[in-house]
Amino acid sequence: MKLVRYGEKGSERPALLDTEGRLRDLSDMVADIAGETLLPENLARLKAVDPGTLPLVEGDPRIGACVGSVGKLVCVGLNYSDHAIESGLAIPTEPVLFMKATSSICGPNDDVEIPRGSEKTDWEVELGIVIGKPAKYVSEADALSHVAGYCVVNDVSERAYQIERGGQWDKGKGCDTFGPLGPWLVTADEVPDPQDLDMWLEVDGHRFQNGGTRTMIFGVAHVVSYISQFMSLQPGDVIATGTPPGVGLGQKPPLYLKAGQTMRLGISGLGEQQQTTVQA
């Protein structure tokens, strides 16, 4: 299934994508694509529904973040060796973790704000893991059974705030609009191998990132298991798993976003995002 949230920000409604790419409203079945809706038994109940029996969503509504009421947005840094090298940092021997503020989450096609005073706002296409079954101290062998599905994440980052303002990555990662999610939450049964997904990102039509999850240092199962040793993961929590090379910081010379530019990014089978940058 491809699960979607549509409507104005703060008033999104749940839906799924039918075989013809049309939105079908799920409001009579679930309150939101969030929390307990993502438990395995509840996803199985939605999967059993004939999409043709659901109301068709008319028009061209805004698409919201594909998960609502996210409790935690946990991120893995430097999870592609080439990206670590282009960032001038050592290849990690275990996952580097940080958090993005949940207030950074926005829809996949919403405007991205360049923070006031920013000169180094950057892009990062990433695979997002959406947790479905609570995970605490889970083994790597069992980790994927706790995954509800996957989505596209743009881990927008302000590099000066991240690196030059006292060493706290969160400052450069949690700004408003720095966490576009979606367009869809694609359930795990439609992603047989999360380590075999192509990913790309363009700015103003120029492709800067062109990689794949095959080159992750720490794969999805390892990441879920690892994080669960330090904090419990709840249904609807999202994990951003790192970015391949090609970010603005790694260009020679470095290249950063300005207001009025367009980012397009996507992952095979998980859809595409497009954002316009605006001045905050």
Question: Which residue is listed with tokens 């805004």?
Answer: 62
CATH classification number, 73-279, choose in 3.30.365.10, 3.90.850.10, 2.60.260.20, 3.40.50.2000: 3.90.850.10
Residue 108, CA distances (Å) to 52, 102, 153, 208, 275 in order? 26, 15, 8, 19, 7
In Å, how far from its chain's centre is CA 222?
Answer: 18
pLDDT number for residue 169: 86
261 SS3 class:
coil
3-state secondary structure 247-260: CHHHCCCCCCCCCC
Average pLDDT per 10 consecutive residues for the chain, totaling 280 residues:
97 97 98 98 97 97 98 96 81 94 98 97 98 98 98 98 87 97 98 98 98 96 98 98 96 97 98 98
* DSSP result, 61-120: PPB--SSSS-S-EEEEES-BHHHHHHTT-PPPSS-EEEEE-GGGEE-TTS-EEEPTT-S-
- Please name every residue paired with 199 in a beta bridge, in sequence order, or none if there are none: 211, 267
Domain boundaries, the chain: 2-53, 73-279
Q: pTM for the whole thing? A: 0.97
Token representation of residue 167: 């060493």
- Check residue 87 and give its pLDDT: 81
pLDDT at 81: 83
